[in-house]
Structure 1
Amino acid sequence: MTRPKLPIVLLACLALAAPFVVQAQSAAVEAPQDAERPNDTTAGRQLQAKLGSNDALQDVTANIDDGVAELDGTVLAQAQKDRAGELATETPGVSTVVNKVEIDNSLGAHLRTTYHEVTERLVAMLGRAPLLLVALLVVLLASWLGKALSLNLRLLRLRTDNPYMDGLLRRSIRIIVTLVGVLLALRLLDLSTMAKAVLGSAGVVGLALGFAFKDIAENYIAGVLLSLRKPFSPGDHLRIDDHEGKVVALTSRATILMTLDGNQLQLPNALVFKSVLLNYTQNPKRRFDFKASIDAAHSIRQAQTLALEAYSGIDGVLDDPAPSWNLVENAPSGIELQFFGWVDQRSTDLGKVRGEAIRLVKAAFAHAGIQPPRTVYHVVTSREPGASGPPATPVEPVHGANVDTSVNRDIDDQLAEAQRAGAAAAGNMLEHDKDSP
């Protein structure tokens, strides 16, 4: 009896079963793929949820059929329509997108959208009213604290005798403390991102403003430097280039003078800082001078002696330094002499003393017969009618009694009023705030 060969039988069975095994494996592979891919209903719910979460796409509807998503509805801008298409493309189960969304440019649609946005924001603000109240209290408290610290610089050991820097420190401290309060309030309102953006753009804005307001910044810095150097004080008599007057105030932008005519003059601080500045008040002693001419036939020594004796006795002319003189020119046409004297500006007016000195010297020369240079000659060929002799020349008195040489106070009242106005406006950086400790 012949036994069948088992390997041949097994091979035949495997050959018959192979197609079924391959088909089962293919079904096993395809089954998970179909399970991973959501059906149209699930994909539609997911896409509609995405569209509904976007306020600008509330009016957009989606319908998915066999993987094809059809979008319909209206939006206000092209960017919103494109965003709806992107959301549909990103949704699992969607292979094709048909975007039929229309753009509504009507005024009514935009007004309705704006109304809804404003309403939502107002409702949100009302919901956060307690937090807003706390943030407002923080800002007010910071402002009060900044003011209190600015009025008590001794607590911070920042007290300075420089009026300008004192005012600058007070304003800086108040601004910094208030700004810290504003930042804390924004933090409470969960707006710290906005605060960072504002602070980050402050540098760029500051640079742009620096170029735009270059002159203002230059005058402000010059004002700070003038305050540090202190070349003048309120009431000082100054000459700045061709401008002359008494100091009213030094503000952050300009130096204010009261001219001797009683007019208010404002000079930019940058101009004052860079100009030649002459302060007549800084030194109480001031010298005056004047010139006198005599005929070349007269004695220089006699004229000099008479002149010095004439004006040295004027009330207000100092003995130290003593009056002096100088020979300017000795020419055939005449002799020119120059005389000097000193006064104390705190009690004596230079202009009045100088005028009286000229008058007395002229009178002394007239009494001594010392004539001015004879540059014009009057020839008399016959006696003029009614003339019995040479015309009488009025002679000035040679004494200086009862002469007013006090300090000129013409504009003092106007100057004081202008200074009070500057202090009331808190613009005078040369004086401390009277309310400060």
Structure 2
Amino acid sequence: MHAGLFLVCFALSAPLALAQLPGIEEPTDPTPAIQTPPPQASDAEIATRITDIFAEIDSLRRVTVKVNHGVVTLTGDVSSTAADTRAEELALRVNGVVTVENQIERRLAVDDSTGSLFGDSSSRLEKVYRALPLYGVSLAVFLVIALLGHLIASWRGFWRLLLPNPFLVELVSGAFRIVALLVALVMAMNILGATTMLGTILGGAGVIGLAIGFSVRDTLENYISSIMLSVRQPFRANEHVVIDGNEGKVIRLTSRSTILMTLDGNHLRIPNTIVFKAVILNYTRNPERRFEFDLGVDAADDPVAAMQLGLDRLKAMPFVLNDPEPEAFIQTVGDSNIVLRFMGWVNQTKTNFFKGRGLAISATKDALESAGFTLPEPIYRLRFDSKVEDALKSVPADSAPPAAATPPKKPVDTREASDVAADTTINEKVAAERAQGGEQDLLDEQSPVE
């Protein structure tokens, strides 16, 4: 593909290259004014001089010249607009010409329009043949530089020494390969003398690249975010995180998105643009995690004694850490109750956080109730009509049927429910996902974490 692009540039630059070869330069018009023999030429002499000049130029031989008081009128026909313009410019440069009335018409014959394209084939072939050594040198320079750039870009060990991040290794080595191709093209075009065409090509490529950049702005932003995340390494695989309100364990970081496994076992892809800008909560970095819950006691009870009783019960639970110690304080005082808040710490690597919190709530509640503390129930005030109230008062107090005896509760084996060991199901699923491979993972255990 690169060789084809280079040959196309060669073909387009052939006229410019051939124009600089010795012995095949095309004649150019002299810059000084064309003088007639006498300093003050008559109309006839001006007409003769212009006619003689046009007679020596193939494309202007059919142009007729008339001169009256220095005003030159050009008629006839030419094969191209360029020949029309050239005739007028030549006439204006003759001494004694005041102005030029250009009435030349362009011929629309097929042979005139295509003659310059297909005519004089032998001369063109001869020029190409004489330029073959120059083409060979230019092609050799292009191939040497391009091959050298490709070899350096493919030298993975060298790039890994410079850039420890594997994603940056791929990015920088690919960019180096493109730069080497551009340098090779510039050097080859300079040898051919086609620098003007090269500038036009590169300018057009820049404009196209700018337009493409605007159209894929979101994609580029996401790609740059992937680069920054691969450098920062804000989390590791299998860490428990919350990203922009999405909770789960990290499977991998790809060039487009961060893949999580939610706590209910589903895959979640978050674009890296969102991840880079989001607030990230990481539960795994610190294995100790605090739980908290609220319990209410009656307004007539001693809240301090209830707090101490709850703290003693929490400290007695084997999975609750003693350092940091559990804490308790009065959260609010309501109309009919006092709300106490209890807090304790667990080690997430050994204890299931949610099970531990639930058992701590149950144990503290039982301890307070066993000590005679009343856990307030909702109080409702009912208002009745006078007739309903009178009817209720007329009912004898002993008319209600006796309450049925409550059957004794059967003992239940609670060992499984009381097991607070850490759940490793999601960890195992994440490990299995990573073992299957798939997309390239930008998370590197060897790179420093943010």
Instruction: Find the counterpart in structure 1 of residue 85 from structure 2.
Output: 83
- Tell me how far apart the structure 2 counterparts of residues 258 and 362 of structure 1 sit (CA, whole Å): 35
**2:56 corresponds to 1:46:** yes
- Residue 430 of structure 1 aligns to a residue in which SS? coil
Question: Which residue among 268, 283, 287 is the counterpart of 2:290?
Answer: 287
Question: Which residue among 257, 263, 273 is the counterpart of 1:260?
Answer: 263
- Following TM superposition, by how much is the alpha carbon of 1:47 offset from its aligned partner in structure 2, in angstroms? 1.4
Contact 2:251–2:433 (8 Å) recurs in 1: no
Instruction: Find the counterpart in structure 1 of residue 25 from structure 2.
Output: none
Q: Which amino acid aligns with 1:145?
A: L
Question: Which residue among 305, 318, 321 is the counterpart of 1:318?
Answer: 321
Q: Which amino acid aligns with 2:239?
A: D
Instruction: Find the counterpart in structure 2 of residue 72 from structure 1.
Output: 77
Q: Which amino acid aligns with 1:387?
A: A
- Which entry has the higher C-alpha Rg, 1 or 2? 1
**2:183 corresponds to 1:183:** no
Contact 1:295–1:374 (8 Å) recurs in 2: no
- Tell me how far apart the structure 2 counterparts of residues 391 and 114 of structure 1 sit (CA, whole Å): 113
Contact 1:286–1:345 (8 Å) recurs in 2: yes
Instruction: Find the counterpart in structure 1 of residue 150 from structure 2.
Output: 144
Instruction: Find the counterpart in structure 1 of residue 163 from structure 2.
Output: 159
- Tell me how far apart the structure 2 counterparts of residues 90 and 257 of structure 1 sit (CA, whole Å): 79
Structure-2 change in CA distance of 1:136 and 1:409 (3 Å): farther
- Following TM superposition, by how much is the alpha carbon of 1:340 offset from its aligned partner in structure 2, in angstroms? 1.8
Structure-2 change in CA distance of 1:292 and 1:361 (3 Å): same
- Tell me how far apart the structure 1 counterparts of residues 94 and 180 of structure 2 sit (CA, whole Å): 54
Contact 2:142–2:187 (8 Å) recurs in 1: no
Q: Which amino acid aligns with 2:85?
A: R
Gaps of 5+ in 2: 1-36, 68-72, 382-391
Instruction: Find the counterpart in structure 2 of residue 243 from structure 1.
Output: 246
Instruction: Find the counterpart in structure 1 of residue 387 from structure 2.
Output: none
- Tell me how far apart the structure 2 counterparts of residues 130 and 383 of structure 1 sit (CA, whole Å): 119
Contact 2:257–2:269 (8 Å) recurs in 1: no
Instruction: Find the counterpart in structure 1 of residue 341 from structure 2.
Output: 338
User: What pairs up with 1:98-247 in 2 under 5 angstroms?
Assistant: 100-102=104-106, 104=108, 134=140, 137-138=143-144, 140-149=146-155, 151-153=157-159, 158-160=162-164, 165=168, 168-187=171-190, 190-198=193-201, 223-247=226-250
Residues 291-330 of structure 1, C-alpha deviations (whole Å, 9 max, x = no match) = 2223345554664455445554556433322333233235
Structure-2 change in CA distance of 1:372 and 1:397 (3 Å): farther
- Residue 387 of structure 1 aligns to a residue in which SS? coil
Structure-2 change in CA distance of 1:276 and 1:432 (3 Å): closer
User: What pairs up with 1:89-100 in 2 under 5 angstroms?
Assistant: 89=91, 100=104
- Tell me how far apart the structure 1 counterparts of residues 242 and 94 of structure 2 sit (CA, whole Å): 85
Instruction: Find the counterpart in structure 2 of residue 15 from structure 1.
Output: none
Structure-2 change in CA distance of 1:132 and 1:180 (3 Å): closer
Gaps of 5+ in 1: 1-28, 52-59
Structure-2 change in CA distance of 1:130 and 1:207 (3 Å): closer
**2:425 corresponds to 1:409:** yes
Residues 258-287 of structure 1, C-alpha deviations (whole Å, 9 max, x = no match) = 443424232453x54444332222222211
Instruction: Find the counterpart in structure 1 of residue 385 from structure 2.
Output: none
Contact 1:241–1:275 (8 Å) recurs in 2: yes
- Following TM superposition, by how much is the alpha carbon of 1:373 offset from its aligned partner in structure 2, in angstroms? 0.6
Aligned residues: 381
- Tell me how far apart the structure 1 counterparts of residues 369 and 115 of structure 2 sit (CA, whole Å): 101
Residues 61-105 of structure 1, C-alpha deviations (whole Å, 9 max, x = no match) = 536689997643544xxx44633533663797998887543353x
Structure-2 change in CA distance of 1:39 and 1:272 (3 Å): closer
Contact 2:79–2:113 (8 Å) recurs in 1: no
Q: Which amino acid aligns with 1:72?
A: D
Q: Which amino acid aligns with 1:137?
A: L
Q: Which amino acid aligns with 2:77?
A: D
Contact 1:142–1:178 (8 Å) recurs in 2: no
Structure-2 change in CA distance of 1:182 and 1:294 (3 Å): farther
Residues 117-144 of structure 1, C-alpha deviations (whole Å, 9 max, x = no match) = 9x99x98999868568646634651452
- Following TM superposition, by how much is the alpha carbon of 1:425 offset from its aligned partner in structure 2, in angstroms? 4.0
Contact 1:143–1:177 (8 Å) recurs in 2: yes
Structure-2 change in CA distance of 1:141 and 1:320 (3 Å): same
- Following TM superposition, by how much is the alpha carbon of 1:191 offset from its aligned partner in structure 2, in angstroms? 3.8
Contact 1:306–1:364 (8 Å) recurs in 2: yes
Structure-2 change in CA distance of 1:116 and 1:415 (3 Å): farther
- Following TM superposition, by how much is the alpha carbon of 1:391 offset from its aligned partner in structure 2, in angstroms? 8.1
- Tell me how far apart the structure 2 counterparts of residues 279 and 192 of structure 1 sit (CA, whole Å): 56
Instruction: Find the counterpart in structure 1 of residue 24 from structure 2.
Output: none
- Tell me how far apart the structure 1 counterparts of residues 115 and 303 of structure 2 sit (CA, whole Å): 102
Contact 1:43–1:92 (8 Å) recurs in 2: no
- Tell me how far apart the structure 1 counterparts of residues 137 and 281 of structure 2 sit (CA, whole Å): 60
- Tell me how far apart the structure 2 counterparts of residues 133 and 201 of structure 1 sit (CA, whole Å): 23
